[in-house]
Each structure stands twice: as C-alpha cells, then as structure tokens.
C-alpha cells in the first residue's frame, strides 16, 4: 500500500492490496476498498461505503455522505460501488436512508466534476454523468446512459439504457431507452449517434426508429402504441423498451416537434450584428 502520512484512516476499515491514498484523505469506519483503487488528496470516504477494484476517486470527492433529507433518519445507510468507476473532482454520492437499502453504483461509470448522486439511487454500468449534473433520490439509471452537464433529474425518475440527456435539461418523467431528451423532459429523437457508437446493428436501429415513430408520431396514445409494438417485429431491444414503459410509474417523457430555427439556436448559437444590437438595447452590455 502507498498511504500518505497525513491521511486519516479508521482502524475499522478493510483495505485491499495495491491501493494508493493521497494526502489529507479521510476514511471512516466500516469502509471497504478494493485492489488497485487510487484515492487522491482531500477525498472523503464515509461510513458504510464499499468500493470495488481499480476505481479512481479524485480531489475533494465525497462518497458515502449522509442523505440530504429533513426528516430524522438512520445514519447507518450503505453505498455500494462496483469496479473501474471514476469520480472526478468534488463529485458526491450519498449513502441510503436506511440499512435495509443501499445506493448502488455498477461498473465502468464516469462521474465528472461536481456531479451529485443522491441517496438510494441505483445506477448500472458504462454510464456517463457530466459536470454539475444533479441526480435526486431514488432515481434509477440504466446502462450506457449519457447525462450531459448541469442536467437535473427529479427523484424516483428512471433513465433508460442508451439514452442521452442534453445539457441543462430538466427531467421530471421516465426517459425511455434509446431516446434523446432536451429541455423540459421532451423527447426530440432517438439517440442515433449513441446507438452507432455502441455498435447497434442497422436492423436494430431501424426497429428502434420505427418504435419511436409509433410512440410519438402516429397519433396513438401510449397504451395503443405499446399494443402495436407487441404485435410487430420483436427483438431484445424492443422487448426492453416495451417492458420499461409498462413499468413506468411517473409516465414517460412526451415528444416535442422542433423546428429548424430552434434546432440551430440550441445546438449551435449564431451571433449576428442584429442579435448584438438587440442585446445592447436590452442592457446586457
């Protein structure tokens, strides 16, 4: 082990071989840390936290903090983290409200700076949480989801696998798998770029696109669209989409038809002389 002399480590921890702990790190009671994990300076690993192998915990990250809730609760919750996860600067993940449950993080996830995962959340594998994203309590995020910067996710929401949440979005309903979300919980399209990058076949991508059109552009309500999907060509991906929607308690995100002008304005802002004059008249500078 390579442990800096200024680190404060409880004697009631279980540390595996080949770990590295930087200066001024704090590790409380009842913590388990797997092999090859590196903890950078000033990180805090709090009680009830179990961390798998080959993780990286960067400067100032706090893992296993008490849940941020007003009502009185047990302080003995748990945080269970898998393998090869990266927590960048000042990322925070809170333990569960009670010992009977746990905040769960899978494998190969990337948490960028200042991202936050609240109590009792459940995350799968290969998820990316970008800078400043805030995930409220009891949320569930499936494999390969991509959550962009400064996104907020309401408590108890579910984020489907291979979905992408655009920057600054506010998610208050369940996000179906494979979809692209922007703004106030609006579906814009399928996450075609993400599907190609994760090697979805052309046939499967075509099925997902057809399912998207049936759900959001056919004029059918959700129940009717699901019935049509169940009758049509099936694949594991379509079966998962159907199952996800059938088990939604908050309802799924609605569709928003986006005009060309709005797409340009949101994806690539254009500054013109006219825009600058307008901003000047309004006192921005």
Q: Has residue 157 been placed in a domain?
A: yes
Q: Has residue 178 been placed in a domain?
A: yes
**257 or 61, greater pLDDT:** 61
Query: Residue 129 carries which DSSP code?
Result: E
The length of the chain is 285
List the catalytic residue out of 42, 58, 116, 119: 119
Q: Please give the pLDDT value at position 117.
A: 98
Q: Has residue 187 been placed in a domain?
A: yes
- Is the confidence at residue 224, as pLDDT, over 60? yes
Pairing mode of beta strands 86-87, 56-57? parallel
CB atoms within 10 A of CB 28: 17
107 catalytic residue (yes or no): no
Residue 33 pLDDT grade (very low, low, confident, very high; cuts 50, 70, 90): very high
Residue 228 pLDDT grade (very low, low, confident, very high; cuts 50, 70, 90): very high
Pairing mode of beta strands 2-3, 116-117? unpaired
Cα 257 to the chain's mean position, in Å? 25
126 catalytic residue (yes or no): no
List the catalytic residue out of 107, 120, 143, 174: 120
Q: Has residue 181 been placed in a domain?
A: yes
120 catalytic residue (yes or no): yes
Cα 29 to the chain's mean position, in Å? 28
Domain of 125: which CATH number? 2.160.10.10
Pairing mode of beta strands 186-190, 8-9? unpaired
Q: For the chain, what is the domain count?
A: 1
The whole domain housing 99 covers 2-199
Q: Rounded to 5 degrees, what angle do the CA atoms 71, 72, 74 make?
A: 130
Which pTM does this prediction carry? 0.91
């Amino acid at each position: 082990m390579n442990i800096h002399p200024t680190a404060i480590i409880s004697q009631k921890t279980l540390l595996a071989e080949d770990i590295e702990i930087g200066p001024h790190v704090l590790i409380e009671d009842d913590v388990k840390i797997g092999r090859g994990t590196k903890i950078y300076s000033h990180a805090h690993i709090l009680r009830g936290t179990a961390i798998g192998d080959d993780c990286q915990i960067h400067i100032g990250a706090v893992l296993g903090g008490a849940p941020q809730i007003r009502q009185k609760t047990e302080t003995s919750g748990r945080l269970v983290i898998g393998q090869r996860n990266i927590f960048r600067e000042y990322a925070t993940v809170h333990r569960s409200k009670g010992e009977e449950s746990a905040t769960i993080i899978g494998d190969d996830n990337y948490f960028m700076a200042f991202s936050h995962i609240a109590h009792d959340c459940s995350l799968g594998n290969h998820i990316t949480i970008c800078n400043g994203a805030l995930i409220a309590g009891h949320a569930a995020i499936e494999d390969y989801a991509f959550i962009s910067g400064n996104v907020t996710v309401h408590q108890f929401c579910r984020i489907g696998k291979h979905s992408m949440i655009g920057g600054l979005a506010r998610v208050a309903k369940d996000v179906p798998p494979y979809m692209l979300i922007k703004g106030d919980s609006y579906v814009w399209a399928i996450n075609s770029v993400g599907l190609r990058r994760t090697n979805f076949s052309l046939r499967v991508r075509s099925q997902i696109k057809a399912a998207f059109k049936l759900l959001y552009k056919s004029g059918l309500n959700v129940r009717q669209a699901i019935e049509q999907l169940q009758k049509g060509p099936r694949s594991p991906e379509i079966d998962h989409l159907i199952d996800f929607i059938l088990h939604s308690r908050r309802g799924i995100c609605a569709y928003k038809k986006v005009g060309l002008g709005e797409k340009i304005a949101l994806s690539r802002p254009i500054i013109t002389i006219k825009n600058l004059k307008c901003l000047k008249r309004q006192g921005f500078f």
